[in-house]
A and B are shown apart, each in its own frame.
Chain A
Amino acid sequence: MTLPGPETLLFAALITAVVLIAIVVVRPSLTATRGGKIFAFVAFFLLPVLCVFAAGSQHIENSKQTTFCISCHVMGPYGRSLYVDDPQYIPAAHFQNHRVPADEACYTCHTDYALYGGIQAKIRGLHHIYVQYLGTPPQPDQIKLYVPYNNRECLHCHLGARSFMSNAIHMAIMDSLKSNEMSCVTSGCHDTIHNIDSLGKVKFWSPAQ
């Protein structure tokens, strides 16, 4: 027997709250008794507050999904670049080989692995939603990172990994990597990233193959 997931529990709590509230709305006289007052407090305060916090948390989880990120038209080419059939494309190689969770690929590489990094990522996400629906979205090829890509995000997973640590070049430049003096992705080593300008000239991998 498997336990229901958090999303199932949330829906159960939401439906329970709706039913309990509807009972009080239809029969407010129920609250005349002590038991009725406790019933109303649960229905009108405890359950709705719990549901709103849980729903907010679920929305934050949903916003980490790769499908969520690439649902905006402007991010389409970046989503396609995950399927390029060329291991030189760093995001594609990570996505296709599950070096990052495939269903949270964008978030895994583009969040900040620092104190409050997740919150900063969410604030940036809200800004993206604002630009998408209330501002003027840029063309895909005009999208730039807010700050240069921090090696910290790469080292979060790779530091200590056997294949990374056994590479003599990595070990020789480790201090420069840790201090961001030398970038993993723009110093000529792993510099084929999304490269959406060249998507028309490359082969694509299909998971069904």
Chain B
Amino acid sequence: MSASPANSMARNLRIAGTLLLLGLLVTIVSLIWKSPLSFLMFAGIGGLLVLLGVALYLFSLASIASESP
């Protein structure tokens, strides 16, 4: 049995939101802790998590749009 579009969207929003929250929190920490390692932390973890979260959100929007009659 497949999940309804509304449930699927809610699940994707939760996952995307969690990725975004983690990414933004890492970004905040990297900005408070000013060192060369903090830049790597931002670029390698924070920025990547945010981009993944945004991509998943846009993907879920596109999926819903394609399923609509």
Q: Which residues of A contact B (CB under 8 A)?
A: 7, 10-11, 14-15, 17-18, 21-22, 24-25, 28-29, 31-32, 40, 44-45, 48-49, 51-52, 55-56, 58-59, 62-63, 65, 67-68, 71-72, 128-129, 132-133
Contact = CB atoms under 8 A, between A and B. Distances in A.
B51 interface: yes
A11 B36 contact: no
Name the 9 nearest CB pairs between A and B, nearest first: A25-B17, A28-B10, A44-B57, A28-B13, A129-B36, A21-B17, A55-B27, A48-B50, A59-B39
Q: Tell me if B's interface is mostly helix, strand, loop or mixed.
A: helix
A56 B44 CA distance: 12
Given A48-B54, A68-B34, A132-B36, A14 B24 contact: yes
A31 B9 contact: yes
B13 A31 contact: yes
A56 B10 CA distance: 30
Interface string B15-29: 011101101110110
